[in-house]
A and B are shown apart, each in its own frame.
Chain A
């Protein structure tokens, strides 16, 4: 039976390696056909910002990879509203992530779900496995 896996993303990209490591584990985990959810809280919300350009710091810009998650059936991406607001950000500042629903003639649907802290707490409560990065 598939287990429900929640990956908690709590740190900004590039300053530490956590964001990249999380993404790699998520993609590996997706190959095992588990029920995968991602949450972005705290500085983790910075991982999804549009317009990242790492040419000047000599590091790989891995942000385009988030757009590929839908192709791996990773389409439950929870972003905590309070964390965005605290940082002066809104949903418009984030990449528009979508997935195609094969049960509805490949209709394109949004992957990001903007949730409050208490809503996210309920989502986390429903998981079988929680991995924090």
Chain B
């Protein structure tokens, strides 16, 4: 079973990013959107955790990163997707786990 995890809260203010990372299994994908995009920015503990999460794919919703001025700060190896890409990810996985 493949799972798409979605996280929309900043990793600095909320435990959902850490909780998601702790439970995301190899082969799953984590999509960061809204304030969740900050987790993917370079020079943060969360970006380091992403780099060390073997077997988990990470993606960021581009329009949310752009709105917040961090589009150019997304760490290497993290995919940037648009709204269509978000829909594709939902369709490609067996289920969605929307972290709140």
Interface residues, chain A, with chain B CB atoms under 8 Å away: 11-16, 42-43, 46, 49-57, 59, 61, 63, 86-89
Contacts and interface: CB of A to CB of B under 8 A. Distances in A.
Interface string B1-22: 0000000111011000000000
B34 A86 contact: no
Contacts of A88: 41-44, 47, 73
Contacts of A86: 12, 44-45
B97 interface: no
A86 B34 CA distance: 19
Contacts of A15: 8-10, 34-35
B95 interface: no
A1 B64 CA distance: 44
A61 B44 contact: no
A61 B71 CA distance: 15
A16 B8 CA distance: 11
Given A43-B13, A43-B38, A89 B43 contact: yes
A54 B70 CA distance: 12
Nearest to B36: A15
B42 A57 contact: no
Contacts of B73: 88
- 3 pairs of A and B residues whose beta carbons are closest in the complex: A88-B43, A56-B63, A15-B35
B41 A87 contact: yes
11 contacts: A14-B35, A14-B64, A14-B68, A51-B71, A51-B72, A52-B69, A53-B71, A86-B12, A87-B38, A88-B47, A89-B43
Contacts of A61: 67
Nearest to A14: B67
